[in-house]
C-alpha cells in the first residue's frame, strides 16, 4: 500500500509531527508551509538529513493548499485551526489539528458539519490524554475500578513568561496576547473527558486578575482561567489552566469515584485507592509506574503523547478501528474546547453558569450557528469582547517594542 502523503502547516510546533512522520512506515512528508523562512530552513535540514529530499516548502498557504496531499497536520496559530481544517476537509484531505479546536461556537458547528459532509478523518492532537499514567487512569476507570465518577480535577499550569518574547515576537495582535483566560483549556479538560468518556453539560468560569509579570510582556488577559464543569452523570469537575506560578509538576489529574480514587502524581507515577463492597475507608492503596501502551512512545515529547496523536491519526486513515476509538474525533474535540469559550461568557456575566450544548445533535446547532463571541477581532466581528474584564490599563506600543527587542536579542521575558 502506498504511504499516506502528509503536509504540515506550521513549521515551529509542526517539527514534532515532522519527526513522527519521518519515522513512520505508514506516511511520507511531502510539503511544509510556514511564513517564517528560517523555520522552513530548519525543516529542510532535518528532512534532508533523513533522506527526504523531495519535500516541497511553501511560505504561502494557497500554494501549499494546491500540493498533492492526502492529509494535513495543522500546527499554525492556535486560534485559526478551524477555518483551515474546514477548507482542507472540503477539499478531500484528512486533518489532524493541533490545539485548539475552534475559537468560536460558530466554528465548532461548522467544523463538525465539514467532517460529516466530507467523510474524512479529523483527529485532534490533545497529547495530554496519552501519557502512560493518564491512559492507565482511562483503562482503570472504564473497567470500573473506582466506581462512578463523583469529582475530578484537571490542571495544566504553565508559566510561559520567560519564553514570551520567543513565542509572541513582540506582536500586539499575536493570538497569545489576544486570547482570553479560559481559552487554552483542552490540556486540563481533555484528559478527564478522555478518561471517563463523559460529556460536559454546564460550565461556570472564573479567572485570576492580570499581573505585571504578564502585562509587561504584552498580555492583558487574566493570568489563569478556571472552569467548574458539570458532567452528564452529575459529577463536578474543576479545570485550571494558565500562566500562574507553581511549585509542583505543571499537569495534575485526579478522579474521585464512589468506590475509590486515582491521581497522577507526576514523574510517571500513579496513585490508586480502591474499595470493595462494604469496605468503606478500608480499601487498598497502590503507587506504581504504568508502562506506555506502545514502548516506542516512551522517548517522544509530552510524556509520549506526541507519538500517539500522530500514530492514531495515521492508523485511523488506514481503517484501524482501535485507532479510531482511541483518537480524539471531532465531537470529542469540540467537547474539550467549547467549555473554555462558554466559560468566558460566564466570566463576563458575573460567573453565571452556561449550558454546554451537545453539538452531535443537529437540532442543537442552530442556536450557535452565528455565535462568534470571542476576543479575536477577525473571528468575532461585531461580537468582539475585550480579553480583560478588570479595567486593566491599555498596554502601550513601547511594551511590544521591548518584547520584540528581547526576541531578536534572544533574551528571556
Which cell goes with 254?
A: 485526579
> pTM to 2 decimals?
0.96
377, containing H or E segment = helix 377-380
How many other C-beta atoms can be found within 10 angstroms of the C-beta atom of residue 291?
13
Contact 333, 359 (CB under 8 A): no
Contact 319, 158 (CB under 8 A): no
Whole-number Å distance between alpha carbons of 205 and 183: 11
**Mean pLDDT score across all residues of the chain:** 95
Contact 217, 134 (CB under 8 A): no
Q: Name which of 317, 326, 270 is nearest 294 in CA terms.
A: 326
Which cell goes with 160?
A: 510561559
| pLDDT single digits (tens) 179-217 | 999 999 999 999 999 999 999 999 999 999 999 999 999
Q: What mean pLDDT is predicted for residues 159-175?
A: 96
Q: What per-residue confidence (pLDDT) applies to 166?
A: 95
Q: Name which of 88, 85, 89, 110 is nearest 371 in CA terms.
A: 110
SS3 155: strand
Describe the crossing of helices 132-143 and 186-196 by its angle, rounded to 10 degrees: 40
What are the Cα distances from residue 202, in Å, to 31, 111, 346?
41, 21, 10
Whole-number Å distance between alpha carbons of 214 and 276: 49
pLDDT surpassing 70 at residue 325: yes
What are the Cα distances from residue 233, in Å, to 199, 340, 352?
8, 20, 21
pLDDT surpassing 70 at residue 297: no
Contact 12, 35 (CB under 8 A): no
What are the Cα distances from residue 309, in Å, to 90, 236, 267, 334?
22, 28, 21, 16
Q: What per-residue confidence (pLDDT) applies to 249?
A: 62
Q: What per-residue confidence (pLDDT) applies to 293?
A: 86
Q: What per-residue confidence (pLDDT) applies to 207?
A: 97
pLDDT higher at 400 or 391: 400
Q: Name which of 248, 299, 252, 258 is nearest 271 in CA terms.
A: 252
Task: Count the alpha carbons within 13 Å of 220 in the hemisphere toward its beta carbon.
Answer: 18
pLDDT surpassing 70 at residue 248: no
Whole-number Å distance between alpha carbons of 305 and 242: 20
Rg (CA), the chain: 21
**All residues at 6 or more sequence positions from 97 whose CB lies less than 8 Å from its CB, including other chains:** 74, 81, 82, 85, 122, 123, 124, 125, 333
Q: What per-residue confidence (pLDDT) applies to 291?
A: 93
Whole-number Å distance between alpha carbons of 89 and 232: 30
Amino acid at each position: 500500500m502506498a504511504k499516506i502523503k502528509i503536509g504540515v502547516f506550521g513549521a515551529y510546533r509542526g517539527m514534532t509531527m515532522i519527526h513522527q512522520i519521518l519515522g513512520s512506515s505508514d506516511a511520507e512528508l511531502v510539503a511544509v508551509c510556514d511564513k517564517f523562512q528560517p523555520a522552513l530552513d530548519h525543516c529542510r535540514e532535518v528532512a534532508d538529513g533523513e533522506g527526504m529530499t523531495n519535500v516541497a516548502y511553501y511560505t504561502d498557504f494557497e500554494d501549499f493548499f494546491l500540493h498533492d496531499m492526502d492529509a494535513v497536520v495543522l500546527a499554525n496559530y492556535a486560534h485559526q485551526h478551524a477555518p483551515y481544517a474546514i477548507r482542507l476537509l472540503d477539499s478531500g484531505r484528512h486533518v489532524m489539528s493541533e490545539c485548539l479546536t475552534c475559537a468560536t461556537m460558530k466554528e465548532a458547528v461548522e467544523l463538525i458539519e465539514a467532517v460529516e459532509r466530507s467523510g474524512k478523518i479529523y483527529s485532534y492532537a490533545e497529547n495530554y490524554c496519552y501519557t502512560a499514567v493518564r491512559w492507565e487512569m482511562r483503562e482503570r476507570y472504564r473497567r470500573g475500578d473506582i466506581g462512578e465518577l463523583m469529582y475530578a480535577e484537571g490542571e495544566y499550569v504553565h508559566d510561559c513568561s520567560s519564553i514570551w518574547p520567543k513565542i509572541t515576537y513582540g506582536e500586539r495582535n499575536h493570538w497569545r496576547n489576544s486570547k482570553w483566560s479560559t481559552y487554552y483549556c483542552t490540556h486540563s479538560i481533555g484528559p478527564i473527558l478522555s478518561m471517563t468518556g463523559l460529556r460536559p453539560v454546564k460550565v461556570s468560569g472564573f479567572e485570576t486578575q492580570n499581573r505585571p509579570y504578564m502585562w509587561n510582556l504584552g498580555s492583558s488577559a487574566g493570568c489563569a482561567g478556571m472552569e467548574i464543569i458539570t458532567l452528564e452523570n452529575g459529577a463536578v469537575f474543576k479545570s485550571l489552566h494558565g500562566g500562574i506560578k507553581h511549585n509542583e509538576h505543571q499537569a495534575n489529574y485526579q478522579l474521585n469515584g464512589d468506590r475509590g480514587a486515582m491521581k497522577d502524581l507526576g514523574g510517571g507515577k500513579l496513585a490508586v485507592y480502591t474499595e470493595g463492597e462494604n469496605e468503606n475507608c478500608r480499601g487498598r492503596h497502590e503507587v506504581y509506574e504504568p508502562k506506555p501502551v506502545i514502548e516506542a512512545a516512551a522517548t517522544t515529547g509530552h510524556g509520549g503523547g506526541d507519538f500517539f496523536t500522530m500514530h492514531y491519526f495515521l492508523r485511523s486513515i488506514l481503517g484501524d478501528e482501535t485507532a479510531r476509538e482511541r483518537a480524539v474525533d471531532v465531537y470529542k474535540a469540540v467537547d474539550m474546547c467549547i467549555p473554555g469559550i462558554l466559560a468566558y461568557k460566564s466570566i463576563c456575566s458575573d460567573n453565571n453558569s452556561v449550558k454546554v450544548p451537545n453539538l452531535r445533535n443537529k437540532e442543537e446547532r442552530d442556536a450557535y450557528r452565528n455565535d462568534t463571541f470571542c476576543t479575536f477581532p477577525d473571528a468575532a466581528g461585531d461580537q468582539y469582547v475585550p480579553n480583560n474584564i478588570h479595567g486593566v490599563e491599555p498596554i502601550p506600543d513601547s511594551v511590544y517594542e521591548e518584547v520584540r527587542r528581547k526576541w531578536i536579542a534572544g533574551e528571556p521575558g
